[in-house]
Amino acid sequence: MAAEPRRSESGHPIEPLYGPEALADWDPAAKLGRPGEYPFTRGVYPTMYTGKPWTMRQYAGFGTAAESNARYKQLIANGTMGLSVAFDLPTQMGYDSDAPIAAGEVGKVGVAIDSVEDMSVLFGGIPLGEVSTSMTINAPGSLLLLLYQLVGEAQQVASDRLTGTIQNDVLKEYIARGTYIFPPKPSLRLIADVFQYCRAEIPKWNTISISGYHMAEAGANPAQEIAFTLANGIEYVRTAVAAGMDVDDFAPRLSFFFVSRTTLLEEVAKFRAARRIWARVMREEFGAKNPRSLMLRFHTQTAGVQLTAQQPEVNLVRVSVQALAAVLGGTQSLHTNSFDEAIALPTEKAARLALRTQQVIAYETDVTATADPFAGSYAVESMTDEVEAAALQLMARVDEMGGAVAAIEQGYQKSEIERTAYRIQQETDSGARTVVGVNRFQLDAEEPYEPLRVDPAIEARQAERLARLRAERDSSAAERSLTALRRAAGGSDNVLYPMKEALAARTTVGEVCDALREVWGTYTPVDRF
């Protein structure tokens, strides 16, 4: 009796051998094209990495703004090309560090940012006109962007020179991550306001990074990851068009964010399928004319969920394979996780090794010598078609339910991902899925490891900074600015302009979010699983 073939993460059989018959009815003209041309299967730029490598970003941020600033300077000195900011949980949820709900979380999973003063410290000595900065912030993403702009103005950097990305993808928060604040409708309005504001004020900024990464970390397989991500992207485009924007005025600044797993072949196929689907959607559904509107440009992060606390040095191998998959799949920028992240915040040495992993791939291998080296591979092209078909089926289901928001409100995406996550955990627990060091090839005793720890006194110091800020600022001006923000939120004006005035008046992240909570309310999730 023949053995059952191994299946891909998306559930398709992986054949022991692929040959010409796998692509017998395959049309290379329709499926491939050339790099930099529709349907962009082979990459969004004609030369890809043959001229220069992808942007090497390292996601970092912990404790105070001063501590994170020191880490950023270390990374820049070691060759990082772009900064990527991690914010602590209170900042992500729109609370100040001295809010009761923030107790125990200040500075733990990222840097604590309460005001323009913290943002000034975070980027002190870093010329914002010369670096590209990505900020992983969603519900209050507009606030952090405006704080960044204010710091740039203080450095006398014109806003049209600022480059970077805010994640600003709140729909995936309802699906997989949970750091939402407002209900979907006002959240989408806020995102459309960001699109309009940046077009006028910060034209080189990527206004959104539509993220599948966090859905994958929650358990989504590759087909679910790109299906639900692209469905969210479609919802954002529809929202902006409904607000009166021309698709070609904002679509070139859209970007995406995906995971890269150790299943290298399927990950390469996933990235290629995602580009092809997005190009077709933008051309056929939205009538985009600008070729840049059709390009799915994306950042990749290696899979944190696949890192293990057991034998953590093995994570160096995992991250290397994951990074190679992202590069072979045509990513525009890449963050490589540190080998100790399953234990604690990365140490300086671990963060440097993660960056060196990218540098070895870029400068010591030959994968950057030619664009899309897997093009025409019987296995990869077959997998690309399979992932594409599975993703389109899921996207059609979302559309039948009324679009991404309607499906979210019915708990569809969340329940589908949770079912996949449960199956993966069952396979790991039973041993059907091998995780080196966890359910096979274990050690009798783990070697001791000293993790980086955040000083718990940070919380008290941030509270002291906030008390001093509130005592020293012009309280009347701060309150007037918040009143103007509430008025705009209750009407139809773009809220980013009064929001910037409020932040310039030294109101805090929590105060601004509280003003919007008063008008828009907060979101309560639906659970179907």
Query: DSSP per residue over 405-468, as a string?
Result: HHHHHTTHHHHHHHHHHHHHHHHHHHTSS--BTTTBS--SSPPP---B---TTHHHHHHHHHHH
Model pLDDT, residue 528: 56
Confidence band (pLDDT; 50, 70, 90) for 80?
Answer: confident
Average pLDDT over residues 37-47: 97
For residue 451, pLDDT over 80 is answered with no
pTM tops 0.85: yes
Nearest to 197 by CA among 170, 159, 153: 159
The partner residues of 211 in beta bridges, in order of sequence, read 257
C-beta of residue 170 within 8 angstroms of C-beta of residue 200 = no
For residue 1, pLDDT over 70 is answered with no
Residue for token pair 């001093």: 468
Average pLDDT over residues 347-365: 95
Average pLDDT over residues 134-163: 97
Average pLDDT over residues 40-59: 95
- For residues 297 and 332, give the distance between their C-alpha atoms in angstroms, rounded to a whole number: 6
DSSP string, 121-184: HHTTT--TTT-EEEEE--TTHHHHHHHHHHHHHHTT--GGG-EEEE----HHIIIII----S-H
Report the greatest alpha carbon distance in the chain. 81
Nearest to 509 by CA among 211, 135, 50, 212: 135
Q: Is 521 helix (H, G, I), strand (E, B) or coil?
A: coil
For residue 77, pLDDT over 70 is answered with yes
Average pLDDT over residues 27-53: 95
DSSP string, 336-403: ---TTTTTSBPPHHHHHHHHHHHHHHHHHSSTTSSS-TTTT-HHHHHHHHHHHHHHHHHHHHHHHTTS
- For residues 209 and 60, give the distance between their C-alpha atoms in angstroms, rounded to a whole number: 17
For the segment 81-117, what is each residue's pLDDT rounded down to a tens digit?
A: 789 899 999 999 999 999 999 999 999 999 999 999 9
Average pLDDT over residues 464-487: 98
Q: Is 79 helix (H, G, I), strand (E, B) or coil?
A: coil
What are 118's two structure tokens?
């913290």
- For residues 50 and 369, give the distance between their C-alpha atoms in angstroms, rounded to a whole number: 5
Model pLDDT, residue 221: 98
C-beta of residue 496 within 8 angstroms of C-beta of residue 195 = no
Confidence band (pLDDT; 50, 70, 90) for 382?
Answer: very high
In single-letter form, the type of residue at position 199 comes to: R
**Cis bond upstream, residue 39 (ω within 30):** yes
Nearest to 526 by CA among 141, 180, 224: 180
Residue 271 belongs to what H/E stretch?
A: helix 264-284
Nearest to 254 by CA among 174, 192, 201: 192
Say how many residues make up the chain. Answer: 529
The sheet that has 205-206: what strands, in order across it? 205-206, 163-166, 132-136, 82-86, 55-60, 333-335, 298-302, 254-260, 208-211
Residue 286 has what DSSP assignment?
S
For the segment 277-307, what is each residue's pLDDT rounded down to a tens digit?
A: 999 999 999 999 999 999 999 999 999 999 9
Model pLDDT, residue 3: 64
- For residues 387 and 378, give the distance between their C-alpha atoms in angstroms, rounded to a whole number: 14
Give φ, ψ of 292 to 5 degrees: -70, -25
List all residues 6 or more positions away from 441 whose beta carbon is below 8 Å from its beta carbon. none
Q: Is 86 helix (H, G, I), strand (E, B) or coil?
A: strand
Residue for token pair 């299967």: 41
Strands 254-260 and 205-206: unpaired
Confidence band (pLDDT; 50, 70, 90) for 129?
Answer: very high
Nearest to 509 by CA among 145, 100, 22: 145
* Domain limits, the chain: 45-430, 473-520
Average pLDDT over residues 182-200: 97
Give percent of the chain with pLDDT exceeding 70: 99
CA 29, 7, 222, 61 torsion: positive or negative? negative
Question: What is the pLDDT of the chain when averaged over all its residues?
Answer: 95
- For residues 23 and 352, give the distance between their C-alpha atoms in angstroms, rounded to a whole number: 42
- For residues 142 and 45, give the distance between their C-alpha atoms in angstroms, rounded to a whole number: 29
C-beta of residue 300 within 8 angstroms of C-beta of residue 239 = no
Give percent of the chain with pLDDT exceeding 90: 90
Top-confidence residue, 529 or 117: 117
What are 371's two structure tokens?
């664009």
Confidence band (pLDDT; 50, 70, 90) for 461?
Answer: very high
Confidence band (pLDDT; 50, 70, 90) for 529?
Answer: very low
Report the alpha-carbon angle 323-324-325, nearest 5.
90
Residue 111 has what DSSP assignment?
B
Model pLDDT, residue 526: 67
Model pLDDT, residue 452: 76
Q: Which fold has domain 45-430?
A: TIM Barrel (3.20.20)
